[in-house]
Structure 1
Amino acid sequence: MATLLLRLSAPMQSWGDQSRFTERDTRREPTKSGVVGLICAALGWSRDHDLSPFMPDKMLMGVRVDREGIVLRDYHITQDVLKASANSKDTVVSNRYYLSDADFLVGLESNNREFLLDINKALQNPKFPLFFGRKAFPPSRPIVPTADELGFDNPTEKSVKDALTEAPYNYCGSNGAPPEKLRLILELSPKDPDYFTLGLVRIDQPISFARREFLQRRVLIDYCKPEIGDD
């Protein structure tokens, strides 16, 4: 078992999992489909590439919310949009939500350490441009934290929960003090006895990006005390 940690930090991010037509939502933390899409872009995979290495029986994802961010809305008006009939044009109004000033630490736990090393390498030299939910939302800092930043190897032999809990926290609130606790979103293994009783449903497990197919997975909300690191 090994865990690779990723830092997702940007002025704006969007992680939708229920977007339909003119309503483009965002969750308060990264979705698994969004993180997998980011990795696929780095690896240079096509949209019809096999995504089985990211299934819950092979890879679990966890998120630590270092800065919650603020949900904001863009009100879009698009003119001269062709209808399906191609005989007339119309104006389309859409609401697009995004997170402002959010910062996340994402952990990917897998028994395939070599695959995690491939992801690590690809994210540092990506095949395609990387962005957080929309092409206008690029990262503001390197995605893969170094061993010097973390105080341990990356990938590490720790579980995803231990890696997220023990990784240093480098932010302070407006009062100059760190928060008392940080929110964790931990993916449950289908073999976990609490999978159906405590797990919250997320419909963001990608099966095929080409066909836009997704399955349910389940997550557990937990909290950890921040380990203060150097800025």
Structure 2
Amino acid sequence: MPEVTTTLLLRLVGPLQAWGTTSRFDERDTQLEPSKSGVLGLVCAALGRDRAESVHDLAALKMGVRVDREGLLMRDYQTAAGVLIAATGKADLGRTVVSPRYYLADAAFLVGLQGDDSGLLRQVSAALRAPRWPLALGRKAMVPGLPVWLPDDLQAGDLVTTLASHPRIAPPRFEHRGQPVRLMLEHPDSGALRHDQPVAPYAARRFGPRFVLPGVLDHVPEPAALEPR
């Protein structure tokens, strides 16, 4: 029998998240939505998949993000003294490096991973409920504020249908009430370019381009507990 298109839903909610795709050297950026490399890294941690192992099967999944609560973009910095100089290989004791770090505060994302291998998605679903290694929202120190798994996380259907029909996982910010909900959907050849597509094991730190197409939902179902009586 042919495989049925299935979408696995993940709930990414926490005090801080960071989904960098262009970080170089001292500065650490974040996108306004989860990156595919970061989400699949979280999945690998749940599965206990080593950084040297292939992620080809996971990278083939199509990803979409629904932004249920926009994050506040925050910036701080870290300092380090006695940093090694690349040209000499020696530490410069008189030099202090300032490293700006960007984060999203209080964000809530509903992420969907779509594929035809329902067995793989069932395996990921089970691993999220009992992860082998700690899960993080982009960086190791940023732990989820709620379980990543949802009771109804496996849905028969495509990304758009599943993301449009699932109840909210968090209320919007006060200033965004009544506004459409943003969607970011992976697309084969159209949209904004993101360099977050894993093309090799994570240990190689090689990521290719991926197109992401923005969209909006005018209505998102409210959880039963939040529906007006």
TM-score if structure 2 supplies the norm length?
A: 0.89
Answer whether contact 2:70 2:173 (CA < 8 A) is retained.
no
Partner of 2:206: 213
Indicate yes or no: 2:159 matched with 1:160.
Answer: yes
> Which stretch of structure 1 is more off in the superposition, 58-67 or 84-93?
84-93
Q: Cα distance, 1:52 vs. partner?
A: 1.0
Secondary structure of 1:95's aligned partner: strand
TM-superposed deviation, 1:80: 2.6
Aligned to 2:148: 143
1:208-227 per-residue CA deviation (whole Å, 9 max, x = no partner) reads: 21111111111110111221
Q: CA deviation at 1:86?
A: 2.0
Q: Does 1:117 align with 2:111?
A: no
- Partner in structure 2 of residue 200 of structure 1: 192
Q: Output the amino acid matched with 1:207.
A: V
Q: 1:128 to 1:187 in 2, by over 3 A?
A: same
2:63, 2:186 within 8 Å by CA — same for their partners in 1? yes
Check the 8 A contact 2:64/2:112 in 1, yes or no.
Answer: yes
Aligned to 2:109: 104
Q: Which moved more, 1:164-173 or 1:32-41?
A: 164-173
Distance in 2 (CA, whole Å) between partners of 1:115 and 1:222 is 28
- What is the 5 A alignment of 1:1-231? 1-55=5-59, 58-84=60-86, 85-86=89-90, 88-89=92-93, 90-147=95-152, 154-169=153-168, 170-174=170-174, 178-188=177-187, 190=188, 195=189, 198-208=190-200, 209-224=202-217, 225-229=219-223, 230-231=225-226
Equivalent pair of 2:82/2:91 in contact (CA under 8 Å):
no
Q: CA deviation at 1:207?
A: 1.7
Query: Which residue number corresponds to residue 151 of structure 1?
Result: none
Aligned to 1:150: none
Contact between 1:178 and 1:226, CA under 8 Å: does it hold in 2? no
Q: 1:227 to 1:87 in 2, by over 3 A?
A: closer
Question: What amino acid does structure 1 have at the position aligned with 2:44?
Answer: C
Q: Taking structure 1 as reference, are residues 41 and 172 closer, same or farther at Cα in structure 2, changes over 3 Å only?
A: closer
| Distance in 2, Cα, partners of 1:87 & 1:31 | 34
Aligned-partner residue type, residue 206 of structure 2: E
CA contact (8 A) 1:180 1:226 kept: no
Runs of 4+ with deviation above 3 angstroms: none
**Shift of residue 54, structure 1, vs aligned partner:** 2.5
Query: For the structure 1 residues 217 and 91, does the alpha-carbon distance in structure 2 shift closer, same or farther, using more than 3 Å as the test?
Result: same
Shift of 1:87: 5.1
User: Aligned pair count?
Assistant: 215
SS at match of 2:174: coil
Counterparts of 1:59 and 1:172 in 2: how far apart (Å)?
Answer: 28
Amino acid in structure 2 at the alignment position of 1:65: V
203-212 or 60-69, which deviates more: 203-212
CA contact (8 A) 2:69 2:172 kept: no
Secondary structure in 1 aligned to 2:155?
coil
> Percent of counterpart pairs with the same letter?
42
Quick one: which amino acid aligns to residue 218 of structure 1?
F
Q: Provide structure 1 residue ranges, at least 5 long, that are not aligned to the other structure.
A: 148-153
1:164-218, CA deviations, whole angstroms, 9 ceiling, x for partnerless residues?
110112415437x943310000001x3xxxx2xx322111001221111111111
Taking structure 1 as reference, are residues 77 and 87 closer, same or farther at Cα in structure 2, changes over 3 Å only? closer
CA distance in 2, matches of 1:49, 1:100: 32
Cα RMSD of the aligned pairs, angstroms, is 1.6
